[in-house]
Amino acid sequence: MSVAAASPAAEGNRSLGRGSISPHDAAERLKQGGVLIDVRTGPEYRGVHAEGARNVPLDRLDPALLKQELRGDGPILAICQSGARSVRAVETLRAAGLEAISVDGGTPAWESAGLPVARGKKSISLERQVRIAAGSLVLIGSILALTAHPYWAGLPAFVGAGLTFAGLTDTCGMGLLLAKMPWNR
């Protein structure tokens, strides 16, 4: 495994400056010795994942441990659901001196490209869990504000502020919290 940072020119003809690569180019890199890690939660990974991917959830990503465990001459290719978590994983890995590239579009793009996937136990995705939790908190807060006390209106306002922050920063605090729950391990 190379420990040099990947240059955009070395990442293939479809890579972007931020260090991402198309699913087809990623599959070619794997044939040349790259290693594919899926940085989604365990339940997301078990539902469907790129064939050959190893599950290393973002919140448990340890570059030093990964460097010891993986034996390959190619880059570490990171994949997730949409690309946001894999970009963060790549930043973490590169900061530790590892060559890492994000797979554009995540697992859905991998599957849409006709590349092999493994299917397992279906569970509620982290994204759906966030929507369920946020919607429930807004509904409960609104009902309580109308029936119990007007101060309960602060709950849906707080959730709305959190969702706005998540949209602006591409960092979802509720998602990070839910990812740590026992059913998502």
- What is the average pLDDT across 127-148? 97
Residue 143, SS3? helix
Residue closest to 43 by CA, chosen among 122, 102, 99, 97 = 122
Confidence at 9, pLDDT banded by 50, 70, 90: very low
pLDDT over 90 at 126, yes or no: no
Give the pLDDT confidence score for residue 17 in this predicted structure: 43
Rounded CA-CA distance 50/54 in Å is 9
**E strands within the chain?**
20-21, 35-38, 48-50, 54-55, 76-79, 100-103, 117-119
pLDDT at 72: 62
Q: What is the pLDDT of residues 37-71, one digit of tens each?
A: 999 988 889 899 999 999 999 999 999 998 888 76
Q: How high is the pLDDT of residue 15?
A: 37
The pLDDT of residue 76 is 95
pLDDT for 44 equals 87
For the stretch 73-89, what's the b/e string if a residue is b when 16 or more beta carbons lie within 10 angstroms of its beta carbon? ebbbbbbbbbbbbbbbb
Q: How far apart are CA 150 and CA 141, in angstroms?
A: 9
| pLDDT score of 4 more than 60 | no
Active site residues: 80
